[in-house]
Amino acid sequence: MMNRIEVSHLIKNYGSNEVLKDLDLTVGNNEVVVLIGPSGSGKSTFLRCLNRLEEPTGGEIVIDGFNVNDSKNDLNQIREKIGMVFQHFNLFENLTVAQNITLAPVELGKMTSEEAEKVAKELLATVGLSDKYDAKTQSLSGGQKQRVAIARALAMKPDILLFDEPTSALDPEMVGDVLAVMKRLAKEGMTMVVVTHEMGFAKEVADRVIFMADGHIVEQGAPEAIFDNPQNPRTKDFLQKVL
């Protein structure tokens, strides 16, 4: 099986601010990669380059064999393969839960309304929110909203899911429900890149942990290697602060 994601020499500048400095990364099929690192190190920018919410300044990103930078390739087609879950959910608060989930697949012509509604019901069951189908999104708790956001991403039947600090905005008692959904997705073989400060999740679920600082990949390896025996002083310093 080919790699799902192949990034080489990725560079992203904002003006004179060099945010991503020559990043290389491959993510295999079914692999769960957890990205950790201090605030401002470029983790969000990296995820946003992967699905082209940001335009890279240089380098190459290949998703499932498609070059994301190649204008000949259809960006929408690539984005269908790669779902994203944000820290602040980015749901339409005035719509119902079902409408949030069915919107994109219907608008993009992937499903009829009936099909999308059936899929929304199934997905809400898998994230433990069957009773919220007709609820107004604004009436949900943060943890419920994030599970809806995951269901919305899954409705597009992506091959890859990107998570950018999905539990950072949640009250502590909500975190476990969201992590449980993510754990199940990982077990079911979803290819995932997860930015998180939940080190317990990283230890338990990640196939690989990547420590990023100042726009570089400083160190990467199996969770045991990174957490129990970090080699780079910056990794050690970061882990001392967060563990």
The footprint of Mg ion (CB under 5 A) covers: 43-44
Closer residue to Mg ion, CB minimum distance, 82 or 140: 82
For the bound state, the minimum distance from the C-beta of residue 44 to Mg ion, rounded and expressed in Å, comes to 3
> Is 10 a binder of ligand ADP (CB under 6 A)?
no
Convert 128-167 to b/e letters by CB count within 10 Å (16 or more is b). Answer: ebeebeebebeebebbbbbbbbbbbbbbbebebbbbbbbb
- Cα(65)–Cα(187) distance, rounded to whole angstroms? 24
> Is 44 a binder of ligand ADP (CB under 6 A)?
yes
What residues are paired with 212 via a beta bridge? 217
Q: What are phi and psi of 72, to 5 degrees?
A: -70, -25
For the bound state, the minimum distance from the C-beta of residue 158 to Mg ion, rounded and expressed in Å, comes to 20
Closer residue to Mg ion, CB minimum distance, 43 or 147: 43
> Is 235 a binder of ligand ADP (CB under 6 A)?
no
DSSP conformational letter for 136: B
Among 14, 90, 136, 157, binds ligand ADP (CB under 6 A): 14
Helices (H) and strands (E) in the chain, counts: 9, 10
Q: Which does 83 bind (CB under 5 to 8 A by kind): ligand ADP, Mg ion, none?
A: none
Closer residue to ligand ADP, CB minimum distance, 19 or 116: 19
Q: Structure tokens of 87?
A: 């820290």
For the bound state, the minimum distance from the C-beta of residue 88 to Mg ion, rounded and expressed in Å, comes to 11
Site for ligand ADP in 136-155 (CB under 6 A): none
Span of 34-42, 83-91, 100-108, 128-136 interacting with ligand ADP by CB under 6 A:
34-42
> Is 43 a binder of ligand ADP (CB under 6 A)?
yes
Residues found in the chain: 243
Span of 42-50, 60-68, 91-99, 234-242 interacting with ligand ADP by CB under 6 A:
42-50
Three-state secondary structure call for residue 122: helix
> Is 100 a binder of ligand ADP (CB under 6 A)?
no
Spell out the SS3 assignment of 14-74. Answer: ECCEEEEEEEEEEECCCCEEEEECCCCCCHHHHHHHHCCCCCCCEEEEEECCEECCCCCCC
Q: Which does 41 bind (CB under 5 to 8 A by kind): ligand ADP, Mg ion, none?
A: ligand ADP
Closer residue to Mg ion, CB minimum distance, 37 or 158: 37
The site for ligand ADP, by CB under 6 A, has a size of 11
What residues are paired with 164 via a beta bridge? 195
Q: Say which residue the tokens 């199934």 belong to.
A: 122
Q: Judging by beta carbons within 10 Å of its beta carbon (0-12, 13-18, 19+), is residue 171 exposed, middle or buried?
A: exposed
Among 27, 33, 42, 106, binds ligand ADP (CB under 6 A): 42
- Cα(8)–Cα(174) distance, rounded to whole angstroms? 37
Footprint of ligand ADP (CB under 6 A): 14, 17, 19, 37, 39-45
